[in-house]
Amino acid sequence: MELAEYKFGLIAPAVNGTYPDPSMAEYFRRVCAEPVGLPDGTVARLKPSTLASWRRRYLKLGFEGLMPKGRSDLGTSRRIDADLGADIQAMRAESPRISAKMVHERLVEEGHVAAGELSVATVQRWFRNNPLPEGEAPAKDRRAFESARVNGIWQADTLYGPHVGTPPRRAYLQAIIDDKSRKVVSARFVERDDAASFQGTLRAAVASHGVPERLFVDNGGPYRNGQLSLICGELGIVLLHAAVRDGAAKGKIERFNRTLRMRFLSVLPEGARASMGALNAALAAWVAAYNATVHSSTRQAPNEAFAAEADRLRWLEGGEGALDEAFRNRVTRKVAPDATVRVDHVLYDAPMGLVGERVELRWTPGREGDVWIVMPDGSRRRLAPTDKAANAEAPRVRPYSIDWGAGEVS
């Protein structure tokens, strides 16, 4: 998944048509002019034809076309054992800013390994899989940034909300803000801060404000999961994660959260705690006012700044149906002997011919009945919830016939 996200990050401008070069070929040549660092820590020189092939596979197969076959030993080092790893960690504890190349040179000079026995790339991968203990990490390179265009970057985050309803239950605010205009493109309180809830928040933003180029989030459960990666891949969004415990990297959404906490949560309107619906109604009114007020950084109202580039927005082709398809989750299930599959604790009837087979299911969390099975020929078929009472009365189609004259069963 990580490698597929990396590949998509390179070809995204070619997919979305946002490359600054005169042609796509020149964009590919520029990207390949210098060696690039891969997610596993290695450095490679890519060819323009490689990027072109990734783009073709994405257009033909979607995000899955960029996924390589996994390795059983992924994340482990076959060259660095526990003793050598302890020596490397001791060097890093002594000099936290030491590079992998310098560690490699010291290992050879001090006789820990023979020349040519261990590569710098292997040490880099070991660094990646064995981070420094908390408190010893080098200072972060943090610089102010802003997207060059509207919908270039969206930032998203979760904020703890008040207790609402009877009995009181915690509400969680999920919000998405556009980096350039500072417009809040989606914000709502939810009962559970999970992956399915954030998918709904993101869907509302895409439906009303178009498809962003990049989505910048943290490493919480709602934001780092395979389903969100697949959804972003289908939509052509580059999914970016801030470093662990580095929430300050998402400065704009963090600032919005502080503003909302001081100006909305601290003075909630009367009756807003009565129910989740009442709380979200009050939030919608407050966000509308926020988007219409001049922002101190941009000197423009977020609504005005966003509308100024409305002609550059990218919308998902296919309307509501395409949006449904892009946001459906995917899971593999084995069809039970009674021709059923279970999704979100609900049984659905599958075709009898697929009993015992592992099949791909696509469904929208929280929307019972929106469950589809991918047939062997690639087509989709909607599944109906299992009605055991109706099945008890349904005639059975037997796989054999009886020839009474011959007295044999065939």
What string of DSSP letters covers 54-95? HHHHHHHHGGGGGPPPP-TTTT--SS--HHHHHHHHHHHHH-
Q: Which H helix or E strand runs over 49?
A: helix 48-61
Q: Which H helix or E strand runs over 213?
A: none
Yes or no: say if 239 and 1 are a contact pair by the CB < 8 Å rule: no
Residue 137 has pLDDT above 60, yes or no: no
Which tops the pLDDT comparison, 403 or 329? 329
Yes or no: say if 375 and 405 are a contact pair by the CB < 8 Å rule: no
pLDDT of residue 396: 62
Task: For residue 117, give the amino acid letter.
Answer: E
Mean pLDDT of all residues belonging to the chain: 83
pLDDT of residue 65: 79
Residue 402 phi, psi dihedral angles, 5° rounding: -110, 125
How far apart (Å, rounded) are the C-alpha atoms in residues 18 and 365?
A: 32
Give the least confident one: 38-47, 215-224, 391-400: 391-400
Backbone Cα Rg of the chain:
27
Residue 254 has pLDDT above 50, yes or no: yes
When pLDDT is averaged across residues 171-181 and rounded to a whole number, the result is 94
pLDDT tier at 315, thresholds 50, 70, 90: very high
Q: What is the pTM of this model?
A: 0.66
Summarised one tens digit per residue, pLDDT across range 352-387 is 889 999 999 999 988 878 899 999 888 889 999 998
pLDDT of residue 58: 85
- Bridge partners of residue 175, in order along the sequence: 157, 187
pLDDT of residue 99: 82
Residue 139 has pLDDT above 60, yes or no: no
pLDDT of residue 284: 96
